Amino acid sequence: MFDWLISPFLQYGFMQRALFGSIVLSVSCAPVGVFLMLRRMSLTGDAMSHAILPGAALGFLLFGLDILPMTIGGLLVGLLVALGSGFVSRFTVQKEDASMAAFYLISLAVGVLLVSWRGSSVDLMHVLFGSVLALNNEALGLIVGIAVLTFVALIVFWRALVAECLDPLFLRSVSRMGGPVHLLFLVLVVLNLVGGFQALGTLLSVGLMMLPAVAARFWSNDVRGLCLIAIAIAVVSSLCGLLLSYHASMPSGPAIIMVAGVAYILSALFGRRGMLASALPSRRHKTA
């Protein structure tokens, strides 16, 4: 058991960096995923993860696999897509989900074309799916920095984020914080997707954000509880996914997301608010 669970992380430095990066990503991304879920914007996270591809691809074409240009490019394009879709929905008859879908599809197509134009199929796979086992110190520093910024923002603006999440009209009626808080939240989403992109690629980075969050929904109804449970599920998924990828010779990123998917299915079946609990007859105390 020791050899199966502990030995890979003691013997190999790349496994240690992968575990550390995955845990930091789990702690940072999972709470953001909870707020996305509560805002009923779960698919927006998926759209935004695709939207950062052109910026990352442009940074790759100009500077190679240098983390800083790819990060800056992904961040700028992600914010541009978020603000652009919001601008279209605000000043036209189109709803935000439709405009977001249009923007992210355009971004995805442009990004794939950019990478295919100057890169190889290996480069395209690296950008789309990442490589958590190849995290270097620079990538880990970026992930830690994003996690620190996310936690500071959540602590300082926690009440405003919860209020804007549950009743945005009320927040805007009693405070001018509604618009800035919404913009701050979009920035946090893009930042965490950019951080996840370094390890999981643009297609899977949203998985560590959303799957633990939606799985936690079957266990709690409290926002703080949801965040803590989502973090725990994400951390366990990262650990088990890395071990599975090591022993079964599987790609590490998909293995982590697959384990998170299994956690979601188990939560949907056996959680306190899952299907099995709903199917059981409720206990009613009969009064004389």
Q: pLDDT: is 180 or 215 the higher one?
A: 215
Question: What percentage of the chain reaches a pLDDT higher than 70?
Answer: 85
**Using alpha carbons only, what angle is made at residue 260 by residues 259 and 264, rounded to the nearest 5 degrees?**
115
Cβ neighbours, 10 Å, residue 97: 15
Q: pLDDT: is 47 or 245 the higher one?
A: 245
Looking at every residue in the chain, the average pLDDT score rounds to 82
> What angle in degrees, to the nearest 10, is found between the helix axes of 53-63 and 67-91?
150
Query: Is a pLDDT exceeding 60 seen at residue 109?
Result: yes
Q: In the CATH scheme, what is the code of domain 2-272?
A: 1.10.3470.10
- Domain locations along the chain: 2-272
Query: Is a pLDDT exceeding 80 seen at residue 287?
Result: no
* pLDDT digits 0-9 by tens, 2-55: 677 788 888 888 889 889 999 999 999 999 999 988 887 777 777 777 778 788
pLDDT for 130 equals 66
Query: Is a pLDDT exceeding 80 seen at residue 91?
Result: no
Confidence grade of residue 233 (pLDDT, cut at 50, 70, 90): very high
Average pLDDT over residues 191-209: 80
Those residues whose C-beta lies under 8 Å from the C-beta of residue 274, and which sit 6 or more positions away, are 218, 267, 268
